[in-house]
């Protein structure tokens, strides 16, 4: 039974979530050393999670005796540098999202790990939530037919650290922070082989005194004809709104990951307690999930990553996926400026996907537009004359 | 106590809903005559709703002795013609949505009733749902601050009559059928004085064998900077998805009008029964509303229309509103073709609206980007240096 | 077209709701005079609702020129006295719930209106909510088979007037205030002809400094074998919890009347506004209904009452129903004291109802306990040997 | 890092769930041998879960070389026998719920493991669901004040194996199968130190051709005055209804574990797929959880059990708890027969709990019954005269 020893780079909220997950349940993997720029934060973090060593040197963390896997939980502008170092050291590297600040940077990162031949996993946790995985399973089994539309929404009142708000360090605003989740989630529902062709985006800075966008909506047209749609905001009130909706020719899937999950509480505010990340108040009706580690996908994600390493296979989420996500975001930023659809500029490895098929039946040589059962049991057909295109009703006893 | 005598033009589903509403509860208004192209349908309809007269002549219906109000529930391509006739006869005219097939036609209709000086009301029922009205009241009272974004969604498996599917007769597809609702609902949440400036739309015919679009998504940029977003589809599976979501700087409103309203039923299918319009199955978990007349806004709508007539005021929804809606739809169709933002081309009567205001506080001369209370009670400020734009964290005891 | 002129007795919250309903939409009925013990309250009320006359004399209100219908919205201990006066005056009388403080009083009231021959209606609005009416329609059509269990729950943080809290004036506590709703709602789902046989109840005064019960739960066994269950509380936190759940042999119905109805709002509390009765806060996530007049059943209720008068038929809810409700409450109070099941002591007019039928099929002479389809398509039967009672599994290809 | 080797006794649905959990994520514990009465089932199970050994001998499974922990997933009537064997062999023993068929049997089991000195854990998974654990945390922190009422409901269309339906083998019907969950869940919310004093129950066999009850409702009075309430049914239609509701003096908690958890799907039935245990149909709107292993509490449960073993502490759920549950069920069965409240007959180890405290404030020497803020900002007090008990209103500016 193989186990892994992790160097955790970064002690922010995401470092906490990752370490909590790695140490949760009956896991056989452990964080062996933690790095922070700040000695104090590294020490406190190592105590909080019972980690045997801490350091303020990235080199030391990566090359620590027992480290076999480097987990990157640092601000976006530091990803490339540390991934290069980890790859050079021959260590497996798992990087938080987004992979980079733009596709060019992402491409260099991808090339580096591929040429170094090290294992690389893209830590897109929202592709591993139990709900999303069940949805994908349902889609792949044909349960909703061909996907025609997918909406992924992530909005909250804004991130917890200064660097997120800094356009230069982060690579952008809400699109980079939240849109990267949505894009990959949408790709997963569309099918990874369904090429994102072009993007139309709106973004604006409506509320906060920052340069980066605090609100954005984008449409992504896929090769099959299906439409992806993401909505991101740093100005949402009421907590963390994290929802996906998928429409298919044979069904519909709605996922609500945080605000209405069957856990509902009203409190007069008399207690003294932390309920969940990104809850806005500690009084009144409150909504959250029971277990963030499991329901936000962290548990499934690290299991897939380490199992993939042990089995010599690719994980579900790779650096190539991270690169695609960056390319879609680049197109969104271009579109927000050019005010028109912009192509997604990528080296595509995913093959070709056919157009969503129209499967209209025929009746007496006419296409069936719709078929309805009337209250009296008869059938009403709306038919299209194949030659003239005229559409007319026909009620039959069939 | 004034009462009104209505000539109902049209015997389709909408005619049924309108008449059911007019005759519902303890109403003092009645339909006095009904018109249909088909004598048989007119007769059956008059019997179903206990209407004293029926006719196959529009002229006769309009000029029927006691008629003081003409309700237009006919296919879109017939609106202009009958409204002209009603205006010429000096009768009040209430017209179903959309007002016309395009803004040009709508403009002629508007000019006609204004020059004739007759009362004219736009029957946009979804602006009168009790939920929407409570939402508007909340918004107007400042309950959610400045509106930054509104989403209106209407999707179902497709309409019940052939003419809806016919691009020529209807003026378009799902945008004209469903988008007209969404646009006016969004305007209501944005404030009627908030000018719709430009539109970006995607549309496609993904599933049905028709020329008109069966799916569309559009973004509408308003003068305040806020974004409206509508999603329409004739290919949705699972019933009638009718939802609005509004985000504001101080709050959030979510309205679900049909699929999760506190009425939830599971049935093995053993009974024999009609549950509601646009429900897809009579087996399994089923969702609907209790009373479509009230919850879809029909009751409030006709009350407003007749009260407005009796009080000599304008109704909440006017033909001018209908004209704006058509102009926004026109822009959406243009954008779907040009693949870029298209201006909304209108004669604007609504005045000017200021930009959503940024109300960032300051701390030591820096703009406050975000303020969070830490678990230990201290306050974390994310601050922006007004000169350099640099963003940094500060933890204080305040 | 008949219209009615109402004497409204009482100016409390219920008087407001009744008058709002009577005057709502395009109603042809009006309140012509209002009575209150307090001249000031009568005057203010008459102004609020545009009522032409007010008085502090019950006699005067009842015998006011145009009054044809007396609506009783007074505290429980005053019902008998005013109903006797109205019946003596030969006026139709509509009485709020509960009809009386106990079955004995209710019986005298019932006898009085029956001997006087006046129209009498029991204003149990929750039997007229659109959701409840759709549920009843579904049940009557066989949609959920035989009802086996019904739960009705009404809880909130306590009533708004002193007399409710006074055991003597009200006739009890939460059972009398809220249980009376639940009992009649349960009867409606069970079928009015299904006799309530016996009651088992728990009650206690857990939180408030009062003598009356502030919490109670009761079980009601019906002749068919089905179980009714009501839960009432004056100590619930979070608003007004008003839910019904019905289980049948072929289906399930869940009704939520207030807290999750598709109207969901989050507000930072910045606005200045009344959202709805019994909402606990004006900040955070808030839940309500769009239109209390319609969704709480008031509109349907008065329509039924006046239509019944005009058509010379009984309304859906009669004083006999009110009497049954009081008898069930009496049994609940007796049971809470005796700590055992207590019979419902009534003069029963509803006929007989058979036992819920067991419809087990047979297989090879054994009763089928359950039939399941296995993932591989085969069928698993759980069978009961009719002689020995032994239960065993059998997997077949059927 | 300690790991455990498990002998899994039983290959039914619960054996599958337990093994799936033990082998899930990055667990270091494994099933080393599996026992079934049937050689075929043991072999198939061992292959499905990649278990190195299987046997038809309980002795062999328990005494298998590496077995340190015996997990009992057998029918109720076999628990005592195998626990005695495991205890005699000195192995840790984890037993599925209920512990036994009645309190007498449970007591003997408890005495056996205590005298043998082996580790014993009660596998009540529903006390370990993330939602329940968050609820308990909230309650313990004072977030909802004193608990006054808790409802636990578990209903579905009936179990999957013949022995469950057999009163003799199972020890009863729906109460034993489902009520055991509810009782322990209620105890957890009430506080384990809050003694269950007496029980009032109704049960009946309404639908299935069996001797055991297929429906039951019970009330449990706790020492604090709070009321527990459970509802169980084998005749529910619509899937698995698993909900808890808790009322406290300062708040409310609602948990929905299966039917509305933020995972909602509609399918025309075109796919070919297993969605979840106890879903009734594969068509229409379908509800489930994303990950049963995590959300039904299995993951947390085994983690607690093994961590407890490794740390030499008691697990959260012990055989003593199982014994209490059996005693409460015994009281329920007695009450269903005697038709009155029946005491819970137990050896109590939990100490004493005080009565829920009434914390009424005073105003001018009167008890404050309720305090409301009026729309005009004034305060309405409902006051109780401490001497006379009379209750009256007072409006103040405070």
Q: List pLDDT tens digits, range D133-164.
A: 999 999 999 999 999 999 999 999 999 999 99
Task: Give alpha helix (H) positions in chain C.
Answer: 13-22, 39-48, 58-63, 79-88, 103-116, 130-140, 162-165, 167-170, 174, 180-190, 292-295, 298-311, 319-338
Cβ–Cβ < 8 Å for C215, C208: no
Residue B306 has its nearest CB partner, among C26, C261, C263, at C26
Average pLDDT of the residues in A153-173: 95
**Mutant choice from A160, A211, A391 vs B, greatest count of B C-beta within 10 A:** A391
CA distance D116 to B85: 97
Name the DSSP letter for residue A175. I
Q: Residue A342 pLDDT more than 90?
A: yes
The pLDDT of residue A282 is 73
Q: How confident is the model at residue D397 (pLDDT cuts 50, 70, 90)?
A: confident
C115 in contact with chain B, both atoms CB, cutoff 8 A: no
> In this complex, do B208 and A390 lie within 8 Å of one another by their Cβ atoms?
no
The residue-averaged pLDDT of C250-279 equals: 84
Q: pLDDT tens for residues D179-215?
A: 999 999 999 999 999 999 999 999 999 999 999 999 9
ipTM given for this complex: 0.95
Contact D270 A263 (CB under 8 A): no
Predicted pLDDT at B270:
73
pLDDT of residue A275: 57
Q: Which of the four pLDDT bands, split at 50, 70 and 90, describes residue A337?
A: very high
| CB interface of B with A, residues 146-165, below 8 Å | 148-149, 151, 155, 157-163, 165
Chain B touched by A369 (CB under 8 Å) = yes
Task: Say whether pLDDT at A398 is over 80.
Answer: no
* pLDDT digit string, tens, across residues D338-358: 999 999 999 999 999 999 988
D131 touches chain A (CB under 8 A): yes
Are the C-beta atoms of residues A372 and B155 closer than 8 Å to each other?
no
- Model confidence at D173, pLDDT cuts 50, 70, 90, reads very high
Interface test with B, best of D256, D281, D287 (most B CBs within 10 A): D281
Beta carbons of D296 and D126 less than 8 angstroms apart: yes
Residues 6 or more apart in contact with residue D216 via CB below 8 angstroms: D173, D174, D175, D179, D201, D202, D203, D204, D230, D231, D232, D233, D332, D336
- Predicted TM-score (pTM) of this structure: 0.96
Question: Which residue in this structure is represented by tokens 């201290």?
Answer: B378
Residue of A208, A383, A390 with shortest CB distance to B369 = A208
Chain B contact partners (≥3 CB pairs within 8 A): A, C, D
Contact criterion met (CB < 8 Å) for A200 and B200: yes
Query: How far apart are the CA of A284 and the nearest CA of chain C, in angstroms?
Result: 6
For the segment B167-179, the average pLDDT, to the nearest whole number, is 97
**Selected residue of C1, C26, C281 to mutate for chain B interface (largest B Cβ count, 10 A):** C26
What is the share, in percent, of chain C residues with pLDDT greater than 90? 89
Confidence of residue A339 (pLDDT cuts 50, 70, 90): very high
DSSP class of residue C289 equals -
What is the per-residue pLDDT for A65?
84
Residue contact B285–D283, C-beta within 8 A? no
pLDDT at position D273 is 53
Give the integer Cα–Cα distance in Å for A77 and C282.
Answer: 43
Task: Give the model's confidence band at D277: pLDDT under 50 very low, under 70 low, under 90 confident, else very high.
Answer: low
Q: CA D139, D140, D141, D142: dihedral to nearest 10 degrees?
A: 60
Measured CA to CA, the distance from residue B101 to residue B294 in angstroms comes to: 28
Q: What is the mean pLDDT of residues B243-267?
A: 96
Q: How confident is the model at residue A389 (pLDDT cuts 50, 70, 90)?
A: confident
Among the residue ranges A278-287, B181-190, B377-386, the one predicted with the least confidence is: A278-287
Token pair, residue C340, equals: 């055992």
Q: Out of B1, B135, B142, whose CB is closest to C272?
A: B142
* Type and span of the H or E element at B338: helix B319-338
| A120-136 pLDDT per residue, tens | 999 999 999 999 999 99
Between A273-287, D26-40, D183-197, the lowest mean confidence (pLDDT) is in A273-287
- The encoded tokens of residue D394 equal 């007072």
pLDDT tens per residue, range A8-62: 999 999 999 999 999 999 999 999 999 999 999 999 999 999 999 999 999 999 9
Q: Do B286 and D283 touch (CB under 8 A)?
A: no
pLDDT at residue number D271 = 67
Query: pLDDT above 70 covers what percent of chain D?
Result: 97
Q: Taking a contact as any Cβ pair under 8 Å apart, which residues of chain C between 206 and 225 contact chain B?
A: none
d(CA D197, CA C317): 41
Q: Does position B50 have pLDDT exceeding 70, yes or no?
A: yes
Query: What is residue C360's predicted lDDT score, i.e. its pLDDT?
Result: 81
Which chain D residues are within 8 Å of C159, Cβ to Cβ? 370
Cα separation, C347 vs C335, in Å, equals 20
Q: What is the pLDDT of residues B116-128, one digit of tens each?
A: 999 999 999 999 9
pLDDT attached to residue B281: 72
Give yes or no for residue A273 having a pLDDT over 70. no
Length, in residues, of chain B: 398
The DSSP bridge partners found for residue C371 are C381
Could you report the per-residue pLDDT of D259-272, keeping only the tens digit for each? 999 999 999 887 66
pLDDT digits (tens, 9 = 90+) for C71-83: 999 999 999 999 9
CB < 8 Å from D in window 272-291 of C: 274
Of D206, D249, D384, the CB nearest to C235: D249
Model pLDDT, residue A362: 92
pLDDT digits (tens, 9 = 90+) for A173-216: 999 999 999 999 999 999 999 999 999 999 999 999 999 999 99
A266, β-bridge pairs: A285, D252
Task: Determine contact: B168 vs chain A, CB below 8 A.
Answer: no
pLDDT band at C276 (very low <50, low <70, confident <90, very high): low
Mean pLDDT of A86-104: 98
Q: Do A285 and C284 touch (CB under 8 A)?
A: yes
Region C277-294: mean pLDDT is 84
- In chain C, residues 174-203 whose CB comes closer than 8 Å to chain D: 200, 202
What does the pLDDT look like over B135-160, one tens digit per residue?
Answer: 999 999 999 999 999 999 999 999 99
Across the interface, whether the CB atoms of A263 and D133 are under 8 A apart is answered: no
Average pLDDT of span B2-23: 97
Short-list C71, C79, C15, C73, CA closest to C326: C79
User: Taking chain B, what is the end-to-end CA distance rounded to the nearest angstrom?
Assistant: 63
Distances (CA, A) of A341 to A225, B201, B205, B337: 15, 10, 19, 11
The pLDDT-based confidence of A84 (bands split at 50, 70, 90) is: very high
Instruction: Please say if the pLDDT value at position D275 is more than 60.
Output: no
Residues in C touching B25 (Cβ below 8 Å): 25-27, 299-300, 303
Name the residue with higher pLDDT: B348 or B387: B348
Chains B–D, number of C-beta pairs less than 8 Å apart:
33
Give the confidence band of C1 by pLDDT, cuts at 50, 70, 90: confident
* Paired tokens of B314: 């304008």
B95-106 mean pLDDT: 98
CB contact under 8 A, B287 and D285: yes
* Each residue's pLDDT tens digit, C7-48: 999 999 999 999 999 999 999 999 999 999 999 999 999 999
Say yes or no for a CB contact (<8 Å) between C291 and B294: yes
- C272 or B22, higher pLDDT: B22
């Amino acid at each position: 039974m193989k186990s892994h020893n992790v160097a955790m780079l970064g002690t922010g909220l995401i470092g906490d979530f990752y370490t909590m997950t790695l140490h949760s349940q009956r896991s056989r993997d452990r964080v062996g050393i933690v790095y922070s720029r700040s000695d104090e934060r590294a020490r406190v973090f190592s105590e909080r999670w019972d980690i045997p060593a801490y350091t303020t040197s990235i080199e030391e963390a990566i090359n620590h005796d027992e480290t076999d896997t480097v987990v990157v939980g640092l601000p976006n502008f530091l990803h490339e540098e540390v991934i290069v170092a980890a790859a050079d050291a021959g260590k497996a590297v798992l990087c938080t999202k987004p992979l980079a600040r733009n596709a060019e940077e992402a491409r260099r990162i991808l090339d580096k790990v591929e040429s170094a031949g090290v294992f690389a996993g893209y830590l897109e946790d929202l592709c591993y939530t139990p709900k999303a995985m069940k949805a994908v399973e349902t889609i792949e089994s044909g349960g909703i037919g061909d996907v025609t539309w997918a909406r992924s929404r992530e909005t909250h009142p804004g991130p917890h650290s200064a660097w997120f708000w800094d356009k230069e360090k982060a690579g952008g605003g809400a699109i980079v922070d939240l849109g990267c989740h949505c894009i990959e989630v949408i790709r997963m529902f569309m099918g990874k082989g369904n090429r994102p062709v072009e993007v139309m985006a709106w973004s604006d800075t409506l509320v906060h005194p920052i340069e980066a966008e605090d609100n954005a909506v984008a449409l992504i047209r896929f090769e099959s004809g299906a439409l992806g749609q993401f909505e991101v905001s740093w100005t949402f009130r009421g907590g963390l709104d994290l929802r996906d909706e998928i429409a298919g020719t044979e069904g519909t899937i709605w996922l609500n990951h945080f605000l209405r999950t069957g856990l509902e509480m009203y409190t007069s505010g008399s207690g003294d307690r932390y309920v969940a990340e990104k809850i806005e108040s500690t009084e009144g009706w409150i909504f959250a999930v029971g277990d963030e580690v499991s329901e936000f996908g962290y548990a499934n994600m690290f299991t897939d990553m380490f199992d993939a390493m042990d089995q010599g296979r690719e994980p579900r989420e790779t650096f190539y996926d991270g690169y695609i996500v960056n390319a879609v975001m680049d197109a969104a930023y271009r579109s927000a400026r050019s005010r028109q659809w912009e192509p997604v500029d990528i080296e595509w490895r995913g093959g070709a996907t056919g157009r969503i098929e129209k499967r209209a039946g025929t009746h007496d040589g006419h296409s069936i537009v719709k078929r309805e059962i009337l209250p009296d049991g008869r059938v009403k057909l709306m038919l299209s004359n194949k030659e003239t295109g005229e559409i007319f009703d026909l009620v039959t006893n069939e």
